[in-house]
Amino acid sequence: MTSSNQLPQQPSFKKYWIWLIPFTALLALILLMKASGSGQTQLAPTDIKKPLVNVMPVQWHEQYVQKHLIVGRVEAPQTAAVGFDLTGSVVNIVVDEGQSVKQGQILAELDTLRLDAQMTELTAILNRAKSDANLAKLSLKRVIELVDKKLESAQRLDEATESVNAANAFIDEVLARIQSLQVEISKTKLRAPFDGSVVSRLVDKGAVVATGQTLFTLQQNTQLEARFALSAAYANKLVVDQVVEVFSPSSRLLGKIKSIAQQRRVDTRTVDVIISLTQQNLTILPGDLLNFVMNTAINGEGFWVPRKALVSGVRGLWSVFVIESIDSELHLQAKLVEMLHVDEEQAFVRGPLKENDLLVSGGVHRLVPGQKVLLADGNTANSVSGSL
């Protein structure tokens, strides 16, 4: 039983107002966003911006030219490993690697002490031989006088005459030996066989070298050559003295075919073709690689298209886009083609293309079949409709 002075408790809504106000604000925000979104207009598909494309007419060909890149090596016209053709000690090295030399220039020298001593000995022998020859001539003169006076026999005259002949023959022998020794002495100086440059030096001063041992490697730099290894089928298409173009990564040069080998190399089964470089370039050195292009006409019907107009297709085929006019609007039509040949910029393909079809020449990575397009500047819709 309650006391008479206590009033009944009234429900309190204050705590509910705290949550009701944010909830009402959130609900109003959602209704406002929905109302603003429903008022937007959707763009019709026909109003979407159409991409601009560049087109080109394709031409039909009965054959195409296939380019074969052949790599060759630059060589010097002459390369020689030079050395002394006698044994001795090297006393002087005149040139070093990389130096230019002239024909007949001294490259190195051998010690000549032993040869000089032999020359002195032979000179003394020659002097003695000449004295003996003079004595024999005097004896012959006296014998002739005695024979004329009947004081000496004819046998003595014959002996005196042959003594003179023997003395003269010995003089000739010594002179020949001196001449031979002079040749040997001249060979102690190694000379350049042609104008060129020293590629390598293999010995130093003071070394004892044997007969035929290589001291220097020389190469001729007057007019360089390039050696290319070709198949017999390609080599038969070339002729001697034909002017061709060869090129390196940095330059292009004209050359003339110097020779074509008449046999195959055993290791590669190829035929060597030597091209003489008629144009000189200081950046081209022996050992550099040069390229030579051989063109071969291949019978095959198709079309030349830019490489950037191709899109990877299915089963090893490729796709290209051509322009098709439908209801006065330009659409893209994809056609599958087979690639027969490709070079740096173009590809030769065959497929369901027709003469003067307008081909999209680039930017195909952003296009899809059936897409509506516009022609870029330089192409007109009239030319498109006239070509279709």
- The whole-model pTM stands at 0.57
First to last CA, the chain: 106
pLDDT one-digit tens code per residue, 233-285: 888 889 999 999 998 888 888 899 999 998 998 888 999 999 998 877 777 88
Judge whether 204 and 213 are in contact, CB under 8 Å.
no
Q: What is the mean pLDDT of residues 91-99?
A: 92
pLDDT one-digit tens code per residue, 48-58: 578 888 999 99
- Quote the pLDDT of residue 14: 56
Q: How many CA atoms lie within 13 A of 181 on its CB side?
A: 18
Does 184 have pLDDT greater than 50?
yes
Q: What is the mean pLDDT of residues 18-30?
A: 73
Q: What is the mean pLDDT of the chain?
A: 84
pLDDT band at 325 (very low <50, low <70, confident <90, very high): confident
pLDDT one-digit tens code per residue, 139-174: 888 888 888 887 778 888 888 888 899 999 999 999
Does 4 have pLDDT greater than 50?
no
Q: What is the CA radius of gyration of the chain?
A: 50
- Quote the pLDDT of residue 268: 86
- Quote the pLDDT of residue 65: 84
Judge whether 280 and 222 are in contact, CB under 8 Å.
no
Does 33 have pLDDT greater than 50?
yes
Q: Strands 55-57 and 358-360: what pairing?
A: antiparallel
Residue % of the chain over a pLDDT of 70: 88
- Quote the pLDDT of residue 385: 41
- Quote the pLDDT of residue 37: 52
Residue 247's nearest CA partner among 282, 201, 293 is 293
Q: Report the distance separating Cα 76 and Cα 196, nearest Å.
A: 9
Residue 247's nearest CA partner among 222, 275, 272, 273 is 275
- Find all residues with CB under 8 Å of 4, minimum gap 6, and list them: none
- Quote the pLDDT of residue 17: 62
Residue 181 Ramachandran class (φ > 0 left, ψ -120 to 50 alpha, else beta): alpha
Residue 111's nearest CA partner among 205, 229, 178 is 205
Does 31 have pLDDT greater than 60?
yes
- Quote the pLDDT of residue 296: 83
